A and B are shown apart, each in its own frame.
Chain A
Amino acid sequence: MSQDEKSRPSWLSHRSEIVREANQLLSPVTRRAFGKQLLGLGSLTLLTGCELTDDASVQVLLTAMSRWNDRAQAALFNPAQLAPTYSKSQIKRPFPFNAYYGLDEVRQVSEQGFKLALSGLVKDKQPWTLAQLRLLPQTSQITRHICVEGWSAIGEWGGVPFATFLQRIGADTTARYVGFRCADDYYTSIDMPTALHPQTLLALTFEEKTLPARYGFPMKIRIPTKLGYKNPKHVVEIIVSNDYLGGYWEDQGYNWFGGS
């Protein structure tokens, strides 16, 4: 430093003046730079996502991040971690109806002639009647249904532990996916570890009564470790597969894993 000091012209010793001058010079520049920053950030929010999300490269990035989030959630998923259970007094009555259509469009599936179809990596593809399913060991649980929209409601579902059912049909439990096709044209798919989770149910009842049509007769897959849109109703076919099967909402942009 001392060498620099010596080589400096004498006018540099008027420090206070120089500081003042520097401030005068710098402030407007940085103020403008700051204004630019603010404008840039502000306009980002003003775009309300339409232009921004429609932009192809942005959408590629967001989709890639959603796939990354699938992997992150699969890594976070603990097969032994149970969703909290609640008491009967905490059940939401009436339990909210939710679907991609209104209550007046609920599909009415008749028990007569109904058979659950099985396909994919399953040894015994014999279709199942409801009567046969009711003969399998049953269990019930009171858990919180969490919707992707943010609301939640506690309900009671009863039926066959899904892992038991998968074993019974000789499903290849090393396969990656289990898919569901529904009578209301809904479809979704889940990862095998979640399918084997002890709380995942092939639900046949709601509050100890046969599942009403609005809650998914003849059967709903109740998964308390996943968001509502991963809990299909009116299930008519179960597919075990190593091929990605997507889902009704997932194919429109909802995260595929959808775990909670």
Chain B
Amino acid sequence: MRSSRHPVVIQMCHWINAFSLILMVGSGLKIYNASPIFGSKLPGFLTLGGWLGGAIQWHFAAMWLFAANALVYLAFNLLTGRLRDRFTPLRLSEFARDSLDLMRLKLSHADLHTYNALQKVAYLSVMIAILVMICSGLAVWKPVQFPLLRTLMGDFDQSRVVHFFAMLYLVLFSLGHLIMVAVVPRTLLNMVPIPKSSHTEDRVHESG
């Protein structure tokens, strides 16, 4: 049996992503509140930066971390073949079967190395959402310099709407993700760099 632990690069990417996403969402909501798209403002305790200028400083500082981390993650997955190994094949029949199992609360977690179809779809959708987040963010930041992105989104105002919903998707995913980790805490073990000596499970499997 292969180790179900994630490579250290993936572990690092995961936690940097979580950290930068919190900074991006907190500062982004403060910026949103300066001119809400949907009428009402969001509660202040969710926001970061104190005022619009401070929030923009946070947002445009953390964006480099967020985007660079996404690039490292994508490059690692592509170069090592991990993307193919863990996310393909993706079959509709498996997706239907796993969805049914989830609803019956019978989804198996016996083999943590192999993602079930729901995990594949969920994690791939997050990769796409982050890509949409970056593209729409670039269109909001530089609508003149990136005419292709601006046109893809519709125009400047629509870029903001796309940016907002991509954020909402990532936040909802994160909440669902936290619930799933609470249900299957062993998965967390695969995402933390525990010293080798205490990682008995893997060593036993490897020697067998």
The reply to whether A65 and B26 form a contact with Cβ atoms under 8 Å apart is no
Residues of B within 8 A of A78 (CB): 145
Nearest chain B residue, comparing its CB with the CB of A78: B145
In the complex, whether A135 has a CB less than 8 A from a CB of chain B is no
Binds B, one of A30-38, A200-208, A210-218, A238-246: A30-38
In the complex, whether A104 has a CB less than 8 A from a CB of chain B is no
Binds A, one of B54-62, B78-86, B100-108, B119-127: B54-62
Residues of B within 8 A of A63 (CB): 57
User: B48's contact among A31, A48, A82, by CB below 8 Å, is which?
Assistant: A48
Residues of A within 8 A of B30 (CB): 49
Give CA–CA (A65, B15) in the complex, Å: 22
**Which 4 pairs from chain A and chain B are nearest by CB?**
A253-B53, A65-B61, A149-B34, A150-B35
Total number of B residues with any Cβ neighbor in A under 8 Å = 56
Residues of A within 8 A of B188 (CB): 30-31, 34
The reply to whether A30 and B46 form a contact with Cβ atoms under 8 Å apart is no
Can you list 27 A-B contacts (CB < 8 A)? Answer: A15-B208, A18-B200, A22-B200, A22-B201, A26-B194, A26-B198, A30-B194, A31-B185, A34-B181, A41-B18, A41-B19, A45-B26, A45-B45, A47-B48, A63-B57, A69-B60, A69-B61, A81-B147, A146-B156, A149-B34, A149-B52, A150-B160, A253-B53, A254-B53, A255-B56, A255-B60, A259-B145
The reply to whether B18 and A49 form a contact with Cβ atoms under 8 Å apart is no
* 8 more A-B residue pairs beyond the given contacts A19-B200, A254-B53, with a C-beta to C-beta distance below 8 A: A22-B200, A22-B201, A34-B192, A49-B30, A62-B61, A77-B145, A146-B143, A152-B156
Give CA–CA (A148, B47) in the complex, Å: 17
The reply to whether B143 and A260 form a contact with Cβ atoms under 8 Å apart is yes
A 56-100 binary contact with B (CB < 8 Å = 1; else 0) = 000001110110010001001110011110000000000000000
Given contacts A78-B145, A83-B144, contact A144 B156 (CB under 8 A): yes
Give the bracket for the number of chain A residues in contact with chain B.
35 or more
Given contacts A48-B47, A150-B160, A255-B56, contact A260 B61 (CB under 8 A): no
Give CA–CA (A40, B190) in the complex, Å: 20
Given contacts A44-B22, A66-B57, A148-B56, contact A84 B147 (CB under 8 A): yes
A-B contact count (CB 8 A): 148
In the complex, whether A225 has a CB less than 8 A from a CB of chain B is yes
Nearest chain A residue, comparing its CB with the CB of B138: A76
A 126-143 binary contact with B (CB < 8 Å = 1; else 0) = 000000000000000000
Residues of B within 8 A of A77 (CB): 145
Residues of B within 8 A of A30 (CB): 185, 188-189, 192, 194
The reply to whether A19 and B204 form a contact with Cβ atoms under 8 Å apart is yes
Residues of B within 8 A of A84 (CB): 143-144, 147, 150, 155
Give CA–CA (A255, B60) in the complex, Å: 9
Given contacts A50-B50, A83-B144, contact A33 B192 (CB under 8 A): yes
Chain B stretch 135-187: residues in CB contact (< 8 A) with chain A:
141-145, 147, 150, 155-157, 160, 181, 185-186
Given contacts A30-B192, A150-B32, contact A49 B50 (CB under 8 A): yes
Give CA–CA (A101, B190) in the complex, Å: 55
The reply to whether B186 and A23 form a contact with Cβ atoms under 8 Å apart is yes
The reply to whether B57 and A26 form a contact with Cβ atoms under 8 Å apart is no
Give CA–CA (A41, B25) in the complex, Å: 12
In the complex, whether A103 has a CB less than 8 A from a CB of chain B is no
Give CA–CA (A52, B188) in the complex, Å: 29
Give CA–CA (A150, B56) in the complex, Å: 11
